[in-house]
């Protein structure tokens, strides 16, 4: 399939590479040209560097975006670059960014004027799963469109679930981000208690990971915390963005989110301390600051 891919950051670049490996032909664009050139270099001619976002959509049956937030997607598709105006007749747009579900619906409505179908398909799994092609996709849109493009998404993910109409994918992603954020905070809080009480955090992790407290989040983030490795798989600033979108969505439907609000404030502290580009496992640093103790093995 001929695909235009716009946005080749931490997540987008390995996702594009997996599409190439699956045999798709790509025109790729990122404002950092080196990112697109890296995809093209491994593609054996299957990926071409596009001059701009509009050029990426040239001749494409499917256009994909992986961008930071709602304004970026709107800008590319409808406002500034106006990619929608230049897409092939009958082409489809899938936004894999994590954005406000209200924005997804607005973008879909704007695209309908050009006869373009849309899916919102945010992902979970971070950089490691983007690299190995085992992301989880949460999808919103028409079932017929989903059925047609599900194989494309499965080239990048091991789980692809249709959650409902347009916007449902991003509602589900916001729910995911609540669970991830609160889980990281809980893991940090627990390991700090153990450290302060004289019990090795690694022993605590090994002891509880096989029980009810165990989780994918704990397995991914507890070792990073204990190793003081906060190289970003998913940045604090991006998680703040997601939790602000959670708050907007929750206000719209009058849903209580006291834990989300608290963890979002902790992340804002990290941003103010210059940790906004660190991995969200850096939530542990808030506890370390309060306790004046590092969560390390031993």
Neighbour-count burial of 84, counting CB atoms closer than 10 A to its CB (0-12 exposed, 13-18 middle, 19+ buried): buried
Distance CA 7, CA 14 (A): 11
Listed in sequence order, the residues at least 6 apart from 94 whose beta carbon sits closer than 8 Å to its beta carbon are: 62, 63, 64, 65, 118, 119, 120, 121, 149, 152, 153
Active site (annotated) includes residue 173: yes
Strand 135-140 and strand 123-124: the pairing is antiparallel
C-alpha distances in angstroms, 17 versus 20, 62, 131, 172, 275? 5, 16, 8, 26, 29
- Residues 178, 261: Cα–Cα separation, whole Å: 10
Q: DSSP labels for 152-205?
A: HHHTTEEEEEEEESTTHHHHHHHHHHHHHHHHHHHHHHHHHHHHHTT--HHHHH
Could you tell me the CA-to-CA distances from 158 to 11, 105, 130, 141, 284 in Å, in that order? 15, 26, 10, 19, 29
Q: Which is catalytic among the residues 13, 17, 129, 173? A: 173
Active site residues: 173
């Amino acid at each position: 399939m001929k695909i235009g891919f716009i946005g080749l950051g931490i997540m987008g670049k390995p996702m594009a590479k997996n599409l190439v490996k699956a045999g798709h032909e790509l025109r790729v664009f990122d404002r950092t040209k080196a990112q697109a050139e890296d995809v093209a270099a491994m593609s054996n001619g299957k990926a071409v560097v596009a001059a701009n976002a509009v050029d990426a959509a040239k001749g494409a049956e499917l256009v994909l975006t992986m961008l930071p937030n709602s304004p970026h997607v709107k800008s590319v598709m409808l406002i500034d670059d106006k990619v929608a105006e230049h897409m092939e007749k009958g082409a489809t747009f899938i936004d894999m960014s994590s954005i406000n579900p209200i924005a997804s619906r607005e973008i879909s409505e704007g695209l309908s004027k050009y006869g373009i179908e849309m899916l919102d398909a945010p992902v979970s799994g971070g950089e490691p799963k983007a690299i190995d092609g085992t992301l989880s996709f949460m999808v919103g849109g028409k079932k017929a469109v989903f059925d047609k493009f599900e194989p494309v998404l499965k080239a990048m993910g091991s789980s692809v679930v249709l959650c409902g109409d347009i916007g449902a994918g991003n509602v589900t992603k916001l729910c995911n981000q609540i669970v991830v954020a609160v889980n990281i905070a809980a893991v940090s809080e627990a390991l700090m208690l153990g450290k302060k009480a004289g019990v090795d955090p690694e022993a605590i992790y090994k002891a509880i990971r096989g029980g009810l407290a165990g989780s994918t989040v704990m397995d991914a983030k507890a070792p990073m915390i204990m190793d003081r490795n906060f190289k970003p798989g998913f940045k604090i600033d991006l998680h703040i963005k997601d939790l602000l979108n959670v708050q907007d969505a929750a206000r719209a439907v009058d849903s209580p989110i006291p834990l989300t609000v608290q963890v979002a404030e902790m992340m804002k502290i990290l941003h103010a301390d210059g940790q906004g580009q660190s991995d969200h496992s850096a939530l542990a640093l808030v506890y370390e600051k309060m306790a004046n103790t590092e969560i390390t093995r031993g």
